[in-house]
Structure formats: C-alpha cells, structure tokens
Amino acid sequence: MSEPLRFLNTLSRRTEPFEPIEPGHVRLYTCGPTVYDFAHIGNLRTFLFEDVLRRTLAASGHRVTQVMNLTDIDDKTIRGAAAEGISLRAYTDRYIEAFFADLDTLRVERAEHYPRATEFIPQMVELVERLSARGHTYVQDGSTYFRISTFPAYGRLSGIDPDQVRPGARVDSDEYEKEDVRDFVLWKAAKPGEPAWDSALGPGRPGWHLECSAMAMTLLGESLDIHTGGVDNIFPHHENEIAQSEAATGKPFVRTWLHAEHLIVEGQKMAKSLGNFFTLRDLLERGHDPVAIRYLLVSVPYRQKLNFTFDGLHAAAAGIERIGNTLRRLAYTPAATADGALAAADVDVAIAEFDAALADDLNTARSLGAVHSLLTRINQALDGAGIDAAARARVDAAFARVAAVLDIVPVRAGRSAEDEAIDALVAERTAARKGKDFARSDAIRAELAARGIILDDTPHGTVWHRKS
Ligand SMILES: [Zn+2]
C-alpha cells in the first residue's frame, strides 16, 4: 500500500497522518477480553476492527508488535469463579480457550503477546510504587488510590471536566459512570473470599485500570503508537490508563487512540433481557457461515455504530458467494489469447481505490465497494471477450490484497489438504470418464456428494464447490 495512513485520533479529535515513533515499527496495544464469559458479537466487532487495523498496518509496510491483554482478575471474574465454586484460574482458562477458538473461527490474526494480568502482578506493584514516590497516591483502609487532583491533564481523552472531581471522594469498583469522577483504586486491599497477593502495598489485588498500564509499558515501552478499544473503554478505563502511565513516567503514553463504536441489534441495544444478545456460538448454531459473520462485522467503518440484522447477515453471505463464484468462474475460464475485455490498468485502479479507502481511517465500506465494482467488471469481461493473462495476474494480486487485509475471500489462498484430496478425486473421475469407466466415475461423484461436494461438468472441465 503506497497511500499514507490517516486515523481519527480520539485524543485530538482530528484526523491525523500516522507515523510510528520508531520508523517502520508500530507498537499497538489493544484492550483484550475480560474472560468471565463468551465474547458477544459487539466485543467481536471491536476485535475484528483491530484485526483489520493490524493487517492494514502490515500491508502498508509496517512491522507490528501487538499486545492484547487477557483480564483474568477483576470484579467480574472473581464473582463468576466464586459463583461456580472453582478457582479463578480454572474459571478464566475456560473462557480464554473459548476466546481463541472464536478468533480462529473469525480468521483473526494472532497478536504477538497475550499477557494474563495475573502474570504481571510484580510490574503492577512497581508501577504503583513509582506513582507513590511521585506523590500521586494515598492509602485508605489498606487500598491505594490515585489522587486525580495531582494530574491536571485528567479528562483530556474523554472530555470530562476535572473540576467536577470532588477531592477525596473515592471509587473502588472497576467500572463506573462518567458522572462518577472520583479518585480510583490502584490496589485493592485483600477481602475474604477474594484472591490476594502479598506485596509491598500490603495484601491485595490490582484494579483493572492498573493492569493495562503495567502490561502495555512492560511489553511495549513507555510510549506507544496506537491504543485501541471500544468506545465504552474511553471513560473511565483509558482515561485512568493515561493518568497512571503519564504520572509515573512523565512521558506521553499513547500517540493515537482509536475506539470502535457500539454494535446494536435490529436497531436496539443488545441485551440478554431483550433476547437479542448473541455470541459467535449462537450464530454458528443457527447455521451462519463464519466468513459471512466476519464480512458483516468488518463492513461498517469502526467509528460508526453497526446495526447487526439477520437481513444484513444474509446480504453478507451473498457478498461472499459472489466473490467465490466469480473467482471460480475465473479459475475455470482459459485466458483470452487476444486483448481481453478488462485492462490490467483498470484492475490497478481498483486496487488503488481499495487501498485508499483503508488508508482513510479504515473506511472498510468504501474498500468493499471497490471489491464489488471489480467483481462486476470481471463478470462483464468474462461474458464478453474474456480476460487476458496480464489482466488475470493483476486480478490475482487484487484478491491476494483483499484476502490479506479484509480476509473475506471464501477460499483462502493456500489450499487445504482436504482441497487437494478433492482435486485428486475429481481428476481421477475425469480420467475414468475418458476411459468410459462410468461405474468408477459415478462412485467418485457419490462419495464426494456424501462429503457435501457438488460437481459441475463445464466445457472447460469439472468444477467443484461445497454445498452451502
Ligand atoms: Zn485495557
């Protein structure tokens, strides 16, 4: 991608050209899941935005070091483990495993690091000690709090007015409302029935906000290029991360903050009580294709609310099918020998438009528009004089780019062992038919049908596809 990247930075509220601190290397921190339940599709929308971000950075020539934390200790995980009467580790292991399974199903690339909060307790304690040494904390009833009045920049990210902070008022819960700006807890005193660590701060456990600051700075350094999350992380979570980190180091914590908007379902807020709350499993059980789910969740630019509807999911499935059908049709049509009906230069224009859309604060809707315009041109050319080898090579490059960044091409580059086995059987059937061994050719067709593989005998050979 030659287009320079631009992002709308939540901190400056402006669209800015992107340049990493270290040329060519992006340090990216993404708030990961709190592993107390299965991720819902709103969470997954944010993780997919971060996947497209990561892939866009890579496609534009950057090396990416991404850290995604796993919050395996906070109010919610402790409550969940206690309700089931099992250890925090056993409880969170279950949801960490499920989380990675969901990422794989949705083709999300792995980050470089997935730190578990419970494995970074010494670094968290050390960060609180640094804050204490600089006069930003106080202790009350065995818990250590961050004193907001010592950090004048508090509120810059979320637009909170720091004057509304009542000095000395404290909050102990990990999550609270915007109206509730108070000194927040860094280290919580041990309570009966809760896990606790012995430390220089006394027996206790970290607050959720502290976890991210400590893991981000340990693994990525004191100043990061990009920090992402959902809009509901802006306050208090990210505001508190900035306060803790910058008060300790005296350096800017993050250059660019990116936040994904909410997902709503059929126009309503997603809520278990409304019966419109979906995990990935719920959708797979209803028979929806994971690639279509990915397509739908990436199709709306991350800064816009995404209205998830089942009509939208069917439309996404149709979009995927259109890509698959066009690529299959292309694969089984010999290249035009004379000049084809599609110019290689026109394909390059489509690739440039795809790249330009993503470079524009990840405008995925516009990039998908470029993909569909190209599909139309390809089909028109195949209906007419065909596509010559030079244009074919550019089309292959275009879909390699689409697969690398949006990853919504139904058949992935690099064929599976099963695909190879099917190809071998199809080739054997073709040979059997040539040799008039119809018993064998029918047996192969039946065997493939039993595996959900449909064969179409075309003038250019036999084409197969999976039954949808
Ligand atoms: Zn976080």
Each residue's pLDDT expressed in tens, for the chain with a length of 468 residues: 778 999 999 999 999 999 999 999 999 999 999 999 999 999 999 999 999 999 999 999 999 999 999 999 999 999 999 999 999 999 999 999 999 999 999 999 999 999 999 999 999 999 999 999 999 999 999 999 999 999 999 999 999 887 777 767 888 888 877 667 789 999 999 999 899 999 999 999 999 999 999 999 999 999 999 999 999 999 999 999 999 999 999 999 999 999 999 999 999 999 888 889 999 999 999 999 999 999 999 999 999 999 999 999 999 999 998 998 899 888 888 888 888 899 999 999 999 999 999 999 999 999 999 999 999 999 999 999 999 999 999 999 999 999 999 999 986 544 567 777 888 899 999 999 999 999 999 999 999 999 888 888 876 678 777 765
- Ligand 1 midpoint to CA 61 (Å): 27
223 C-alpha to ligand 1 centroid (Å):
15
Distance 295 CA to ligand 1 centre (A): 26
CA of 431 to the centre of ligand 1 (A): 59
Q: What is the pLDDT of residue 413?
A: 44
**391 CA distance to ligand 1 middle (Å):** 46
Query: Quick one: pLDDT at residue 414?
Result: 45
Span from the CA of 239 to the centroid of ligand 1 (angstroms): 10
Asked if residues 131 and 247 have their Cβ atoms less than 8 Å apart, the reply is: yes
Ligand 1 centroid – CA 32 distance (Å): 7
Of 317, 314, 295, which Cα lies nearest the Cα of 306?
A: 295
How many angstroms is it from 213 CA to the middle of ligand 1?
Answer: 8
Q: What per-residue confidence (pLDDT) applies to 10?
A: 98
CA distance 454 to 218: 53
Tell me the CA–centroid distance for residue 227 and ligand 1, in Å. 9
Nearest-CA neighbor of 397 among 446, 337, 349, 456?
Answer: 349
Distance from the CA of 197 to the center of ligand 1, in angstroms? Answer: 21
DSSP string, 156-207: TTTT--GGGPPTT-EE-SS---TT---EEEEEEEP-TTS--B--TT-SEEE-
CA 102 to ligand 1 center in whole angstroms: 20
Contacts of 171 (CB under 8 A, 6+ apart): 180, 182, 183, 184, 185
Q: Cα of 228 to ligand 1 centre, how many Å?
A: 9
Q: Does a cis peptide bond (omega within 30 degrees of 0) precede residue 410?
A: no
DSSP 155: T
Neighbours of 115 (CB within 10 A): 22
Paired residues of 48 in beta bridges: none
CA of 90 to the centre of ligand 1 (A): 22
Burial class of residue 13 in the structure, from the number of CB atoms within 10 Å of its CB (0-12 exposed, 13-18 middle, 19+ buried): exposed
Beta carbons of 320 and 295 less than 8 angstroms apart: yes
Using alpha carbons only, give the angle 23, 117, 188 rounded to the nearest 5 degrees.
125
Report helix, strand or coil for 464: strand
Q: What is the pLDDT of residue 169?
A: 81
Token pair in block for residue 95: 């949801």
**Crossing angle, helix 88-105 and helix 75-84, to 10 degrees?**
110
Contact 83, 43 (CB under 8 A): no
